[in-house]
Structure 1
Amino acid sequence: MMLRSAAQKKGGHLIDHISKMPDDILVKILSRLEVKGAAVTGSLSKRWRHLWRNLFWLNFDGTETLDKMGDDEMLCDLERRKFIKQVNNVISSHNDGMVQLFRIRFDLDRSYSECIGKWFQFSIEKKVQVLELNLLDKSDRLHDLDKSYNFMLPSLNTMSLTLRVLTLRRVNLNEPNLNAILKNSPHLEGLSMFGSILFPHIRVGGRDVKLKKFQLVACAGIKSVSLFDFDLKFFQYRGQKIGLHLTELPKLTILGIGEASLGLENNVFRKISSCASYLEDLQLEVRHPEKILDVNAIPKFPNVKKLKLAVGAEEDNCLLEFMSIAQACPRLETFSISLLWLSPLKRRRKVRRVVAPEGHKHLKLVEINGYDGRISDLELAVYAIDNAVALKDIVIDPGCHPFGVTAYDKLKRERAARSAAKRQLTSLLPPGVNLAIL
């Protein structure tokens, strides 16, 4: 056991140095463990018997069990009952002290609403600061959303929450409960929702809102999101096409947008133009670009230093149009593009070379993920070599592949891509530029 490693021999006897530490130090050590492991230490000796009852981090992470469950529904039901019993036993035995972190990670749906509701009530009573309810299955699949747990607050008007960070995965949230969370959580700085059913029009704003980080990923039911007049620093949205309104957000420096049915030409730049001058880190995902990018629609991003693009790529079509976004970032230092290949077809054609009108004076690192040895891949690397005068590193990762590729084919394509990258790029590298092929 890890704790036994601190025991040393003296005169033929083991000296347990850890057990001599003060209780608060031992509780801090135990709080770093998953709860099940921490509770086992109660059998070490009388000294350890009740220490775990004072844990201020309650991390019920069932990931390892989820990995073993497979698709055996009887086994899944058995493991769910065991997991719920474990959580209930721990919280019923916990001492009167506060809990800083309370994490639930297991495949549960609304049929377990009574238990989950009691756990949330426990988190309120223990003045939890970081609460995570992650009820997705082992593969994080979004299935049976109509069976997802509906988040409920016990007393909307009199409740006071100490939350700083709230993460909900496969947990539905309605408008009154969202408003109550924001109203009654004066210290809430981070709110993340993944795979949840929400309500059509989300409006968050006003100087009383303290959120610094807000994430909405793969959530259903949303038609529009309006964020206004508070000190938001990080916002991420990934999902279906929505109306997006970002106004009076002067602290917003990190923005990630990925709309499944939205090409970059389809108003996305108009939606984010109001905060373009504040941004320092911009992340855009376009899985199905259908039309040629309207370069005139791209605003200037004068302070963006990190740009990350994820682009759906078909056949061997030229992707240099997306470099227009990089050209709109005069202070760009790091550029990363992930190629999400939608078809494996390659074509033979000449390499296009594009000269950026103003060059890239600060660009030092270029990452190309999903490099497949095509002309379209090579053109992106050549663009960086031709236009980034301060370039120091090019990183090539062949890891992204179309869906349905077998493990054998994946390894075969990665080997071929590494070989192609070395053959294509080594002779083109200027002095002082490093090439890393992962």
Structure 2
Amino acid sequence: MGRFEPELNQSTSKKQKIKFDVEDRISRLSDDVLVSILSCLPIKVAATTSVLSRRWRMVWTFVPRLEFDASSTFLKIRNKTYGSMRSDIFIDSEKVRFVNLVNRFVELCPLPYIDEFRVCFDLDRSHKPDIDKWVKFVFEKKAKRVELDFARLIGLYPLKRSLYTLCPLSLGLPSSIPLTSLVLKWVDVSDRVLDNFLSNSPFLECLCVQRSRTLVHVRVAGPSLHLKSLEISGCPNLRSLQLHATNLLSLKYFGPQVEIPFENVPNLTTLSIGDYPYPPPARKLGRILTFFPQLQKLALYIEDAEGLQRRHREFPLMSQLKQMELRVSASDLDSLLFLASWLDACPSLHRLDLDWMWIRLDATRRIKKGRRIVHHSLKTVKMTGFVGETELCMFLMESSVIFLEKIVVDPNPAYTKGGPYENMDINPVRALAVRKRARHLKSKYDFGDKLVII
């Protein structure tokens, strides 16, 4: 590149000039360093560096992390064209562009190995030839982390939606797989295929399967199993879940009611279980938790708050629990003061996240009061979908106000976060009532800037 030679002032001799070298020093860096830099960027952005110069033309192809997430682009198109007769045309056109883009990257990749391959977009069985090509590429390149997320991004999930079926054996893939993480969302996977992954992936530490309709009997067991994190969610035809994994640290189960041998996963520190829209395993919550006094994080998704209140007024002692997440479906007629005994049984609890769904406002009902406790460890409380559950708020503030560092109140429910309706306001009348209640609480208790109203 050229050099710039400015004069310092008029008295400076023309022979006395300072030369500033503006040579592109970044391009002088080694290939390994440049690839490391580009690895921090989305792959689509990294590819645009190919136009900078001849030096950069092929550098991006050596990035070992291939992530293709066009969900935000898809949502922007849908929001802009919503209600238009041409909406589906634009969406189908975007799908074609996305598939062609992934195909191009797959064909150009010169690496013998890759670290990660991730695809997140609304695809189904109609794209099987292309997805098969990606799956074959992934396993031939001995990828360590693989994620296929074909969730529908907008609207209701049709019951007869045609999902892509993962069948690596039919593609002639190797039996030994160096996977450390496998995430399958809205992908049909059979019991046999999942068992093959577990048997032939000696380094597998993370396994997640969501919305598979062909999964019936899951068996996670084996003396050489190194699995540390397992999630089985929303698989409607599941009939059994056999667990025997002493290394398992995190388990999330959200689905039909099945018997889970919790005694065979003795080292869990994180447990997430839910009930909606299936018969709730959470009904046996007390018995389940007796297996895990060492739990540090507990997440519960509860549809029947009133029923849970009747069954679980007493909560087993969880002396190690640091974080609790509760998603509760209830009306304002229900009282959540039964959570007081839960908090009393969790003396080390540091953070509490509460998310309410489908709650009615009833400002005329009489406020109930619960027994008072003093909680020394609770520092942060976050309430999403908040409609002014005054009793619980009063209890939390009276029992923890001295020690709390922050309490966040958000009227928008958590299920809208990260989705197409995230920035849409809730009903303005409801929002006004919610914020009025929140301001009342703020004036009643000396919280200063600790109480944040979103």
Shorter-chain TM-score: what band? 0.7 to 0.9
1:365 corresponds to which residue?
A: 380
Q: Which runs of 5+ in 2 are unaligned?
A: 7-20
Q: TM-score, normalised by structure 1?
A: 0.86
Contact persistence 1:385–1:391 (CA under 8 A) = no
Aligned counterpart for 1:192 among listed residues 199, 208, 221: 208
User: Does the alignment pair 1:91 with 2:106?
Assistant: yes
Map 1:420-431 onto structure 2 (within 5 A). Answer: 420-429=437-446
Could you tell me how far 1:68 is from its partner in structure 2?
4.1
User: Does the alignment pair 1:61 with 2:69?
Assistant: yes
Q: TM-score, normalised by structure 2?
A: 0.84
Instruction: Say if 1:229 and 1:403 are closer, same or farther in 2 by CA, change over 3 A.
Output: closer
Give the letter aligned to residue 90 of structure 1.
F
Aligned counterpart for 1:270 among listed residues 270, 283, 287: 287
Contact persistence 1:255–1:283 (CA under 8 A) = yes
1:211 corresponds to which residue?
A: 227
The structure that has the greater radius of gyration is 2
Map 1:184-333 onto structure 2 (within 5 A). Answer: 184-260=200-276, 261-262=278-279, 266-274=283-291, 276-291=292-307, 292-295=309-312, 298-333=315-350
Instruction: Say if 1:204 and 1:337 are closer, same or farther in 2 by CA, change over 3 A.
Output: same
Could you tell me how far 1:140 is from its partner in structure 2?
8.2
Instruction: Say if 1:320 and 1:84 are closer, same or farther in 2 by CA, change over 3 A.
Output: same
1:160 corresponds to which residue?
A: 176
1:4 corresponds to which residue?
A: none
Instruction: Say if 1:413 and 1:398 are closer, same or farther in 2 by CA, change over 3 A.
Output: farther
- Equivalent pairs counted in the alignment come to 425
State the distance in 2 between where 1:205 and 1:341 align: 39
Looking at secondary structure, tell me which structure has more strand per residue: 1
State the distance in 2 between where 1:408 and 1:22 align: 50
Could you tell me how far 1:52 is from its partner in structure 2?
2.0
User: Does the alignment pair 1:175 with 2:191?
Assistant: yes
Instruction: Say if 1:41 and 1:180 are closer, same or farther in 2 by CA, change over 3 A.
Output: same
State the distance in 1 between where 2:96 and 2:4 align: 46
Contact persistence 2:367–2:390 (CA under 8 A) = no
Could you tell me how far 1:264 is from its partner in structure 2?
7.9
1:413 corresponds to which residue?
A: 430
CA-based RMSD of the aligned residues comes to: 3.1
Aligned counterpart for 2:48 among listed residues 34, 40, 48: 40
State the distance in 2 between where 1:384 and 1:315 align: 17
State the secondary structure of the residue aligned to 2:133: helix
State the distance in 2 between where 1:178 and 1:16 align: 50
Map 1:364-403 onto structure 2 (within 5 A). Answer: 364-373=379-388, 377-388=389-400, 391-400=403-412
Could you tell me how far 1:148 is from its partner in structure 2?
0.6
State the secondary structure of the residue aligned to 1:243: coil
State the distance in 1 between where 2:245 and 2:425 align: 52
State the distance in 2 between where 1:402 and 1:53 align: 38
1:3 corresponds to which residue?
A: none
Contact persistence 2:38–2:46 (CA under 8 A) = yes
Could you tell me how far 1:290 is from its partner in structure 2?
4.7
State the distance in 1 between where 2:295 and 2:402 align: 22
Aligned counterpart for 2:142 among listed residues 122, 127, 139: 127
Give the letter aligned to residue 225 of structure 1.
L
State the distance in 2 between where 1:209 and 1:9 align: 61
Give the letter aligned to residue 293 of structure 2.
S
State the distance in 2 between where 1:247 and 1:302 align: 19
